[in-house]
Structure 1
Amino acid sequence: MFYSRFFALIAASAVLLLGVAAEQHTVSFTNNCGFGTPLLKANGQTLSTGQTVTFGGPLISAIAFLQTGSCGDNGEGCTLIETTLVNPTSPGSGSSTDISLIPPHAFSVTSGFGYYGGCDGAGADCTYYGCPTAFYNPGDTGVQVACQVDNVNLAITFCD
């Protein structure tokens, strides 16, 4: 009797441990411009200078832009991609990404993003100032692209 309970407890513990996967998100870049350095920043810290980077948890309020030499420290004067990658805990609480041209940001290079590893095909591109897929004022919330899938990843492309 003891052995059957012991093995049942071990089996249940193994199922629980294997069933709990850590949250993880990857951001990758493609720079087809032939100039500039892709930057990914959050909380004033540079997280990537164009390398693919994986986070072992949520990525909250990050920004990405192509530093062409004329962008400010937070992408001022350039096309900005804003993202939060987080596993949803309730409906509508998952990942969200957008393109921002709200001043002081301005169109600089063709920029776009797309989710992968979930919500494949969801994303946006902005190829000119006035593109309908970007924020121009804070009320343009309809341009945000949401993804309600665990562990979703993001591909960011410049000049495609």
Structure 2
Amino acid sequence: MLAPKTAFFALFFLAAGVHAERHTVIFDNRCGRGTPMLIQGPNVLSTGGAYTSNGPLNSAIAYLQTGSCGFNGDGCTMVETTLKNPTTPGGGSSTDITLIPPHSFSVTTGFGYYNGCDNTGADCTNANCPTAFHFFNDNHVQVQCQKNDVNLVVTFCL
């Protein structure tokens, strides 16, 4: 039999695990070619299938590998994302599209949040799209979401 204090902590951690932070990234590749990539640091997290993070997903990138993209999306349109539950005001998820060199426009690309902040996102349909980073100080293109357990869909060839 568990001591009352031990039983309390066991129930507390069991309940906390049920409500643990989770985020899912899915791809909608309408191009009919290429391989969607989800990368975090040196790790390939997905090559097109849904990816679920049990906890925050920090500093991940997504792009459509058409054969001309470098491992970090060099030469292609790239989505940068951090999906995390907000612990302070403004401290939640943030996603953007980047065309800062060495990245460049390759295919129309967009993203949108779901399961929180629905209908919020951005699309980039040409090399001059105003919704993408072109310079490091284009911070206005970042799309924030301050909801718990928000998910992301990345779409290619809108």
Establish whether TM, by shorter chain, passes 0.5: yes
Aligned residue identity for 1:121:
N
Q: Deviations over 1:74-98 (max 9, x none)?
A: 0000000000000010001100000
Equivalent of 2:61, from 63, 80, 88?
Answer: 63
TM-score for both structures, normalised by structure 1:
0.89
Q: Check if 1:134 corresponds to 2:127.
A: no
Alignment partner, residue 37 of structure 1: 35
For 1:116 and 1:106, locate their aligned partners in 2 and report how far apart those are by CA, in whole Å: 27
Alignment partner, residue 94 of structure 1: 92
Alignment partner, residue 3 of structure 1: none
Alignment partner, residue 150 of structure 1: 148
For 1:14 and 1:37, locate their aligned partners in 2 and report how far apart those are by CA, in whole Å: 43
How many aligned positions are there? 152
Q: Percent identity?
A: 61
**Superposed, which structure 2 residues align to 1:17-36 within 5 Å?**
18=15, 21-36=19-34
Runs of 4 or more, structure 1, over 3 Å off, are: 13-20
**Superposed, which structure 2 residues align to 1:75-90 within 5 Å?**
75-90=73-88
Cα RMSD between the aligned structures?
1.8
TM-score for both structures, normalised by structure 2:
0.90
Alignment partner, residue 49 of structure 1: 47
Gaps of 5+ in 1: 1-5
For 1:145 and 1:61, locate their aligned partners in 2 and report how far apart those are by CA, in whole Å: 14
For 1:89 and 1:28, locate their aligned partners in 2 and report how far apart those are by CA, in whole Å: 24
Structure 1 residue 18: Cα displacement: 3.7
Q: Deviations over 1:53-77 (max 9, x none)?
A: 1110110000000000000110000
